[in-house]
Structure 1
Amino acid sequence: SSMRVDYYVRETLFEKFLRLPPKFYDRHKTGDLMARATNDITAMRMMFGRALIMAVDASVLTVIGISIMIRTIDLRLTLVSCIPFPVIAILSVFFGKMIYSRFMAVQEGFSKLSDATQETFSGIQIVKSYVQEKGEIEKFTNLSEDYVQKNIRLVKLWGMFFPLITALSGVSLAISLWYGGTMVIKNQISLGDLIAQTSYVGMLVWPMVSIGWVVNIIERGLASLRRINQILEEEEVPEVKTKEKIVELTGNVKIKDLNFTYPGAEVKALENINLNISKGQTIGVIGRTGSGKSTLARLLTRLYKVPDGKIFIDGHDINKIPYEVLRKDMAMVPQETFLFSTTIKENIAYGKSDASMEEIIEAAKLAKIHDTIMNFPQKYETIVGERGLSLSGGQRQRVTLARALLMNPKIIILDDALSAVDANTEREILEGLKSYMKQRTSIIISHRIIAVKDADLIIVLDNGRIVEQGTHEELLRNEGVYYKIYKRQTLEEKILSENE
């Protein structure tokens, strides 16, 4: 049954992780979440398994033993023999609270250790590039020492508690022999009764000793259960409740007086954004780093909570559109790519597992990655490694782009999705996507003019505000922020071409 509890909690916790909003992952580290999903669940399973069995076993033996002593020997002798029991109960409560708090500290230490290990493995190339192996070893050693010290504090407490319980069980036996011997001398009970009494008390030694084990395991389990409940009590992405039946999107987007501030931040990431995008229109978004470009993309895909009445798709408030519909008809290719540790084919087909090989190849061709894949020995069956590290940054971005294109969305958002490829490759990819984008609403976010210059409408963001909008030619004539970016990038390209 404890394994069933383990299975249920583990599955429930994993499902909960998938339903939590991005802001949750902004506040929690991967190592801490991994510790809760492994170590804490194991401690909880021990509580519902071994501790429960031991508690039932001890309780049954104690009740039966005391009942037999009262009925067959003597009530007074039985009560005197049970004098240590209240002391054991008080000690269990006292030590239980201390074990709980110290085990919480142990688990938090393990979370920090797991997080540091995971972070080092993920950034191993950076660690080696900057020759920081000694620094990472020192950091790991400090965390390990802290974890060991917290465990030692817990073990010391347990080392005091268990002998105390054992000693008190011995006291109970000694009291039985002393008081029972007195009663035998006074002929109040027979010698046989005394021998039987001491045998019964001896049988109760194990239940009394097991109390220490049970308290230890239960307090550890409760500490872990609290850490798991902290996750389960987190606010999920709310379910959409609407009378309207929305089954698909066509691609008309309207943004009205949108303001947004990240949780915990004081400065607005976006301020007074107004924009109308018609179905099939291509919109370019450009601006300096930190101007709010990616924030706009995250809100359009509802990765963060959008204020009501600010973003509409096909006339529907985005908060009223079911997630399944939004995810089905809208795709975003982020700048920070992520590939799973599987084949290129499975990575491209991640959002459409029933896709045919022809569809996968067509998406790869649109993303200009097909020829590269065909040069690999295993072609589409090539394993990309953890996070796709066996591929270059540009190759990972193009595989990610192919994954989004395969979804055939009504709205596609490219959030600096080709920043890792060179300008010529980016030009080729965008040129090849023109006919694809004509059939759907497209939002191209980039820091390069070349990526957005052919858009039907270009908006320029600066400090979270739209400071300019228009076509490429109109914005150049205005000689504003866009014009300055254009001049700078043109000069940079000229210098690079001369150096070549």
Structure 2
Amino acid sequence: MGHFITLKSFFLRNKWFYILGIAWLLIVDILQLLIPEVLRRFTDQLQANNLSSTDVFKYGIYIIGIGCGIAFFRFLWRIYIMGTSRRLEYELRNRLFSHLLKLSTNYYTNHKTGDLMAHATNDINAIRMALGPGIVMITDAIFITVIAITMMVVTTDWRLTVLALLPLPFLAITITKFGKVINTRFKAVQESFSSLTDTVQENFSGIRVIKSFVQEISEIEKFSEKNQMVYSKNMALVKLYGMFFPFVQFMSALSFLIVIGYGGSLVIYGEISLGDFIAFEAYLALLVWPMMAIGWVINILQRGSASMERINAILMESPEIVDKDSSIEVDNMTGNVAFDNISFKYPNSNEYALKNFSINIRNGSSLGIIGKTGSGKTTIATLLLRLYEANEGTIYIDGIPLNDIKLESIRNQIGYVDQDSFLFSTTIAENISFGVDGCSKEKIIRMAKIAEVHNNIVDFPLGYETYVGERGVTLSGGQKQRISIARAIIKEPRILILDDSLSAVDTDTEESILNSLKEEMKNKTSIIIAHRISTIKDCDSIIVMDNGVIVEEGSHSQLLSNNGLYYEIYQKQLLEEKLSNE
């Protein structure tokens, strides 16, 4: 139960809901325990021929009154206990989601989306069950068991009580054993479901790749294997349940058989009345559920504890990149950027993505970055955004070390368009205005025009209210890139980073976008990462990257005159362009 300490603040805030809920539950239990007493008196009067029509009506009213009381207070305890457990589920899921968004990029490199989704669904549901139905079961198990046994001993016969209860402890022990096996099989079901979820998510995300490589049948077979595993694990659990319930019924029947045999003889010999016998049977029937509940409570609490442990493991994860206590807000950055002798390796990699990298970028200037794949271009952007921390060296913005500036302050003033051009499953207008609250339609349109995507948008039947589908699947690559650019510049950033984000547009559109951006980013800093020289040729300065180091630096004309790597790339692209035009 120690794993639930994480929820201490929730319990303190909602303690009265649980206290009152348990109070209503105890009232329901007391009312249920009154029914055998009503049946005792009714039967004894009936046996003694003392029952009048008025008495029948009176006992009928008692039963109806007790039934109404049970219904009313059962409604209350469900609202107070089950409702509070639902509130816990709601708050815990929000807390988990919020925490996941705070974790650093590297966490998602090492954890699968399907696993995290399973934690946010199945595990949180198991915790709710432990702190909702689990509390109900443990209260019932203790209270009804103690009171019912006491009433059986006091009002009927202690010998009959002992004999009747003989099978029940064995029932409770066996259910507990069942609970441990059920818990093990339940974990296996959770793990197989997590694996299935991960497979489904990955396939839906990569549906275009699957179709283009004609791998539908292969992926269906892989899915079937995972699905078969989920089915097998669930069937193993179902088979256990299939044995469990008949066993409970059998053990309960043994108790009733003992009561009918021995209790019947006591009635015959006049040691107890028929009313006592009927009441005793009613108390025994009430005891079957608590005996079952003991096993179920252990099972549910074990599940909840295991799930809480997994959730705690996530909640205990700390972001690798956080603000220091001394971090400062820097409003209205001028955009001076300096990389001072930066070296960086990605986690689990032995190769340097950047090695002794140094450069100064003046505010209002534009820097073009080009190089082969894996040369460290994108790493420059991720370090400037503090998605990762440099292993060595210091990055400065406006002369202030990057690590001394608050993360929110940095990222609010940097507009970033990454290679993936990720779009959310919402309207085009909401995608463009994603980083700005209360953005006007006029501003959205103006930014779309700068990004040269306005004409495409208005061609859609719903225009800016068009839903783009998951990850922007309904749009072309060029349209996604241009919408992403509009989303970046609508923030009016002091620093704009375009990471190979014009690769899917033609050169004429590219030139038009860059000209518009030049006007929009006047007196602001631009960093343009590209594979095409046409994208960066007009930048104030260009660096050529290779194996994490700068091999060339200068303007377009200077680099061409060097006859180095830049010149090679330029000649190769000229040849490719010439061949494509033939």
Structure 2 distance, partners of 1:306, 1:102, is 45
The Cα shift of 1:412 comes to 0.9
- Alignment partners' CA distance in 2, 1:306 and 1:94: 53
CA 1:91–1:275 in 2, change beyond 3 Å: closer, same or farther?
Answer: farther
- 1:252-271 equivalences under 5 Å are 252-271=336-355
How far 1:495 moved relative to its partner?
2.2
Give the secondary structure class of the aligned counterpart of 1:418: coil
Superimposed CA distance per residue, residues 55-105 of structure 1 (whole angstroms, 9 cap, x where no aligned partner):
322221101112334444566765565555554454344333322222122
Distance 1:78 1:259, change over 3 A: farther
Whole-Å separation in 1 of the counterparts to 2:161 and 2:319: 56
- How far apart are the structure 2 equivalents of 1:385 and 1:297? 28
- Which moved further from structure 2: 275-284 or 217-226? 217-226
In the TM superposition, what whole-angstrom CA distance separates every residue of 1:5-50 from its partner, at most 9, and x where no partner exists? 1211121122122112222222233333223222333333233222
Aligned twin of 1:442: 526
The more displaced of 387-396 and 408-417 is 387-396
Q: TM-score, normalised by structure 2?
A: 0.78
Superposed, 1:127-146 pairs within 5 Å as 127-146=210-229
Task: Identify the residue that residue 118 of structure 1 maps to in structure 2.
Answer: 201
Q: Is 1:418 equivalent to 2:499 in the alignment?
A: no
Answering whether residue 64 of structure 2 is matched by residue 64 of structure 1, we say: no
Once residues 265 and 56 of structure 1 are traced to their aligned partners in structure 2, the CA distance between those partners, rounded to angstroms, is: 54
Q: Provide the alpha-carbon RMSD of the alignment.
A: 2.8
| Residue 360 of structure 1 pairs with residue 449 of structure 2 | no
SS for the counterpart of 1:433 is helix
Contact 1:104 1:224 in 2 (8 A): no
Matched residue of 2:369: which SS?
strand
Matches of 2:160 and 2:466, distance apart in 1: 78
Give the secondary structure class of the aligned counterpart of 2:131. Answer: helix
What is the CA distance between 1:117 and its match in structure 2? 2.1
Match of 1:491 in 2: 575
User: Counterpart of 2:132?
Assistant: 49
Gaps of at least 5 residues in structure 1 are: none
1:264 to partner: Cα distance: 1.8
SS in 2 for 1:260: strand
Structure 2 unmatched runs, 5+: 1-83
Aligned residues: 497
- C-alpha contact 1:331 1:413 (8 A) present in aligned 2: yes
1:145 Cα deviation from its structure 2 partner: 0.8
Q: Greater shift after overlay, 478-487 or 37-46?
A: 37-46
* Matching residue within 115, 138, 142 for 1:32: 115
Match of 1:151 among 223, 229, 234: 234
The corresponding residue for 1:106 is 189
Structure 1 stretch displaced more, 300-309 or 254-263: 300-309
Distance 1:296 1:86, change over 3 A: farther
Asked whether the 8 Å contact 1:341–1:385 carries over to 2, the reply is yes
CA pair 161-234 structure 1, distance change in 2 beyond 3 A: farther
Q: Please report the TM-score for the alignment, with normalisation by the length of structure 1.
A: 0.90
2:387 is aligned with 1:303: yes
In the superposition, relative to structure 1, how do residues 301 and 244 fare at CA in structure 2: closer, same or farther (>3 Å)?
Answer: closer
2:473 corresponds to: 389
Counterpart-to-counterpart distance in 2, 1:209 and 1:377: 61
Could you tell me how far 1:110 is from its partner in structure 2?
A: 1.3
Kept after mapping to 2: 8 A contact 1:99/1:219: no
Q: 1:452 to 1:209 in 2, by over 3 A?
A: same
Secondary structure (helix, strand or coil) at the match of 2:319 reads: coil
Question: Residue 310 of structure 2 corresponds to which residue in structure 1?
Answer: 227
- SS of the equivalent of 2:143 reads helix
Deviation, structure 1 residue 446: 0.7
Shift of 1:402: 0.6
Q: In 2, Cα distance between the equivalents of 1:23 and 1:244?
A: 22
**Whole-Å separation in 2 of the counterparts to 1:464 and 1:86:** 71
Q: Deviations over 1:390-448 (max 9, x none)?
A: 22110110011011111100111110011111223212211222222332111111111
Partners of 2:85 and 2:219 lie apart in 1 by 38
Q: Secondary structure at the match of 1:269?
A: strand
Q: Which residue of 2 aligns with 1:287?
A: 371
Aligned runs of 1:335-484 on 2, under 5 Å?
335-484=419-568
Instruction: Give the partner amino acid of 1:330.
Output: I
Partner of 2:329 in structure 1?
246
In structure 2, the CA distance between the partners of 1:475 and 1:153, relative to structure 1 (3 Å rule), is same
> Following the alignment from structure 1 to structure 2, what is the Cα–Cα distance between the partners of residues 492 and 481?
17
- Secondary structure of the residue aligned to 1:250 is coil
